[in-house]
Amino acid sequence: MKKETELMRELTELTKETRAGRIHWDIQYQTTEYNDPAQKPVEEEDGEKWIVDECFVGYHCIHHDKEFLLITYEQFYTCGDKKKSCNLIFLPPDGIRFFDVDVLAPYAVTADQMLVYEAHMLWLTILEVYKENPTLVKLDVTPRELVLQNKRF
């Protein structure tokens, strides 16, 4: 598994090369964010009710003649104007493209705020490139349903 500093450098390089139009991406995106709010799980904490959503993004490309696969996961909570989230990053082998935290757990990378930030910057850059030149990004967006199993990250 790549060390976090190596992944940080690679994400920075991927962002730069993506912005320059040198990388073709295959992106899979699943989220509960746009689902009916009445159908979303709610957690109560200190008398406040938090609506729970989640988002998976699978990033795949060929970089320096090698397969690059990264999966990010965000579970986020909303209570009125207040928001909080938990972010996870995974580097699974190419054959594992499941959007399931339990399956991905062995491939988790220790993600500090800087690494999460770099992954988010890559996401924003890919979206910018997609708007300008959709031929560089294959984007598959699907809704998903969140079922909480009494565990919180």
Please provide the size of the chain in residues: 153
Q: Taking every pair of C-alpha atoms in the chain, what is the biggest distance, in angstroms? A: 53
Neighbours of 137 (CB within 10 A): 20
CA angle 60, 99, 45 (to 5 degrees): 130
pLDDT in tens, 123-148: 999 999 999 999 999 999 988 887 66
Please say if the pLDDT value at position 153 is more than 90. no
pLDDT in tens, 71-127: 999 999 999 999 999 999 999 998 888 899 999 999 999 999 999 999 999 999 999
**Residue ranges of domains in the chain:** 4-142
What letter does residue 43 receive in the DSSP assignment?
E
